[in-house]
Structure 1
Amino acid sequence: MVRRSRWAAGLAPEDVEHVLGSMQERQFARGACIARAGQQVEHWMGLVDGFAKMSVASQEGRISTLTGVSAGVWFGEGSLFKHEARRYDVFALRPTRIALMPRRTFEWLRGTSVPFNHYLQELLNARLSLFIGALAHERLLDTDARVANCLASLFNPDLYPDAPRFLEVGQVEIGLLANVSRQRVNVALRRFQALGLIRLEKRGLTVLDLGGLRGYQQGAVPLSLGG
C-alpha cells in the first residue's frame, strides 16, 4: 500500500525504505473499534483492505456517520498536525487491515519532503470539500439523492485513488454512511438500477454511470455528467 500511495511516488527509494521500516500493521474484526475519540493520536493510518466508517457520538448515545474509509485511504493527519486527541471514532464495517505510520516518521516526511506536503494539502482540501458537500446534501437533497451522492463520494479521486467500479458494500453500510435506513437504501438502489446508474450484485454493486450518480437530483431524474 505504501508503494502504491500517491505521496510515496515523490520520495527517493531510500526514503521509501526508511518509511517501510517504521510501519506497523494491525487487523480488526467486523464491528471492532479501530480508533477511539478522545485518544491521543500517535499514528497516521492507512486502510490496506476492508471498509470502515468515521463517526461521532453525543453524550446521549446518538451517532452520526461522517464518511466511509475504503482501501487506499490515509486518515488522521489533522489530529497529528494539531497534537490533539482524536475527535471521531473509526469502526470496522468488515474485517479490516490498517497500516500505521508513527508520528516521528510522519513529522520527518513533513520536514524533508515537498511532494509529501503537497499531497497533504491536496488531501485536506479534498476532505474539506467532502464534508461541506455532505452538509449541503443533508440539508438540501431528498433521501434518494443523498444515497446517490454518498455512493458517488466513494469515488473521489483525491480520497479514493484506486476505487474500483465494483463496491463490496452492503445496504446497511450504505445506510450508515448516508444516515438513512436500510429500507430506504434498498428503495433508492433499485431505482438507480432501473435508471441504469448501477447494477446490483450478490456482494455489492457495480457503478455503471458515475456522472449520473453525481448529478442525481430530486424526482429520480439523473442529470448525467458522463461516466
Structure 2
Amino acid sequence: MEQRITQAPAADETSTASLAEFLGKWPWFHALSTELRALTLGTSVEMKVAAGQYVARAGEPSAYWYGVVSGQLQMCIVGPEGDETTLYYLREGEWCGDGSLLKRELMQYDLRSLTSARLCLVPANTFHMLRSSSLEFSNFLCDVMNARMGEFVGMLVASRLLGPEKRVAKALLMLAKNGHEDALRLSIHQRDLALICGLSRQRVNMALASFKQDGIVRTEGPKGFLIVHTQRLRDYIGN
C-alpha cells in the first residue's frame, strides 16, 4: 500500500530545537533580521518519514520548501503508461520545492523518501516572505537552482551522448555529489539507480559488474551497500 503524508506534523520542543540546529547551519538564516529568523523558526516544522513514503505528489498544491536534515529523497515522475523516471536525488543538506513555489504552480513531480529521513518544511508563505525580504536568501535560491540545473544538464548530455556504462558512472558521480572521499558509501537500490540512468536493471547490473572488476566500486555488508571510489570514477568518465 502506498504510504502518504496528509499534513505536516505540529511542532514540539524537540523538533523546534532540531530545526534551530539545522537552520543555524545556513549563512542566509543568520543574515535574516531577528523578526524573520523568528518567523522562519516559528512556522517551519520537522517531519520524519519512512523509506518509500511520499512527501508530495505531482498535481498537488505546492505547500512547502523542503530541506533534507538527514536521509535521502528522490524527485521522480510517472508517465501515462506507468513508466517512472528519477529526475534528481537529494541527500542531507539539500533543498527542493523552490521551483514550484516560485512559479506558484502545482507540484510537477513526486517527492519520495528512499531511506528513512528527517525533513525541514518551510511553509509557502514564509518562503515568499524570505524571498521578497532577504537578498542573501534569494542568492542562496539561485545557487541551489543553478547547481540542480547543472546536474540535470549533465544527465541529459549523458543520456544523449554516452554509452550505458558511462551513463551509470555519471549517475554514481551525481549520487556522490562530487564528494572527495576515497571511498563513499551509497545506500541506493539498483532499481533506483536504473531509474536515474534511464536504463534497465539488467544493464545497470552489467555496468556495475564491470566497475567492480576495475576496482571503481565494490559492495560491502549484508545489505550490499555500494562503495564508490570517486576519483577512479572521475578518471573513468574523464572529468
SS in structure 2 at match of 1:38: coil
Which residue does 1:94 correspond to in 2?
115
Q: Could you tell me whether the CA contact under 8 Å between 1:44 and 1:101 is conserved in 2?
A: yes
User: How far apart in 1 are the matches of 2:70 and 2:116?
Assistant: 8
Are residue 145 (structure 1) and residue 166 (structure 2) matched?
yes
Are residue 168 (structure 1) and residue 198 (structure 2) matched?
no
Q: Could you tell me whether the CA contact under 8 Å between 1:150 and 1:178 is conserved in 2?
A: yes
Alpha-carbon displacement from aligned partner over 1:151-204 (angstroms, at most 9, x marks no partner): 1112446xx9xxx93222232322222222333333322322332333322242
Q: Which residue of 210, 213, 225 maps to 1:194?
A: 213
User: How far apart in 1 are the matches of 2:38 and 2:227?
Assistant: 36
Distance 1:53 1:10, change over 3 A: same
169-178 or 66-75, larger mean C-alpha shift: 169-178
Where does structure 2 lack aligned partners over 5 or more consecutive residues?
1-21
Distance 1:206 1:100, change over 3 A: same
SS in structure 2 at match of 1:37: coil
Alignment of 1:181-220 (within 5 A): 181-202=200-221, 203=223, 204-208=225-229, 210-217=230-237
Letter in 1 for 2:40: V
Aligned residues: 215
Shift of 1:9: 5.1
Which residue does 1:78 correspond to in 2?
99
User: How far apart in 2 are the matches of 1:128 and 1:184?
Assistant: 26
Alpha-carbon displacement from aligned partner over 1:117-142 (angstroms, at most 9, x marks no partner): 11111111111111111111111111
Q: Cα RMSD between the aligned structures? A: 2.6
The share of aligned pairs that are identical, in percent, is: 36
Shift of 1:13: 6.7
Distance 1:215 1:12, change over 3 A: farther
User: How far apart in 1 are the matches of 2:158 and 2:87?
Assistant: 13
Shift of 1:71: 1.7
SS in structure 1 at match of 2:131: helix
Q: Could you tell me whether the CA contact under 8 Å between 1:57 and 1:63 is conserved in 2?
A: yes
Alpha-carbon displacement from aligned partner over 1:6-60 (angstroms, at most 9, x marks no partner): 5435446764444222111222232222111111102101122222211112222
Are residue 28 (structure 1) and residue 49 (structure 2) matched?
yes
In the superposition, the TM-score normalised over structure 1's length comes to 0.82
Letter in 1 for 2:206: V
Are residue 180 (structure 1) and residue 199 (structure 2) matched?
yes
Shift of 1:82: 0.7
Which residue does 2:3 correspond to in 1?
none
Shift of 1:215: 4.8
Q: Could you tell me whether the CA contact under 8 Å between 1:45 and 1:100 is conserved in 2?
A: yes
User: How far apart in 1 are the matches of 2:218 and 2:117?
Assistant: 25
Where does structure 1 lack aligned partners over 5 or more consecutive residues?
218-222
User: How far apart in 2 are the matches of 1:155 and 1:113?
Assistant: 31
7-16 or 92-101, larger mean C-alpha shift: 7-16
SS in structure 1 at match of 2:23: coil
